[in-house]
Amino acid sequence: MELIIDNRQDKMDVTEDLIEKIKDIILECLDSEGYDDDYEVSLSFVDNKEIHELNREYRGVDRATDVLSFPMLSDEFDIELEEETLGDIVISLERAFEQSIEYNHSFEREVCFLVCHSTFHLLGYDHDTDENTKEMRQKEEYILNKLNITRE
């Protein structure tokens, strides 16, 4: 799996340890759903201002959010690529920090949760109904617990 990182914010530090955990989460999500690791994921770190603009532009929601997912996986195209693009994840590290305080756990755990959550969106899951939300939450908790990323 290739992880392409674009850090477009300067409010929060991104450590190598965090990047390694992010890679592990994405790989574990792929594995748990029966996918191999021949995928490319683009991960952008932004601030609240930029994610607000993206949320307004792509979802028509005029406010900041924590994470946006842009899935690229599709059965519509039968093109043999060496590495298929799974999609793009955009995380506001500023919002992740705010939420880590709100939920009383570490910044690292919040970023890991958001990556896990977004990866399942890239794999086709959604939380548009109570049943889908429950299924998605179970999958997220399974991955985070398996990797020992707990609410400290």
Binding residue ranges for Zn(2+): 117, 121, 127
* Distance from C-alpha of 87 to C-alpha of 66, rounded to nearest angstrom: 17
- Strands (DSSP E) contained in 8-150 are 39-46, 67-71, 84-92
- Residues making up the binding site: 117, 121, 127
State how far the alpha carbon of 120 is from the alpha carbons of 104, 105, 126, 127, 152, in Å. Answer: 24, 22, 8, 10, 23
The dihedrals phi and psi of 7, each to the nearest 5 degrees, come to -95, 100
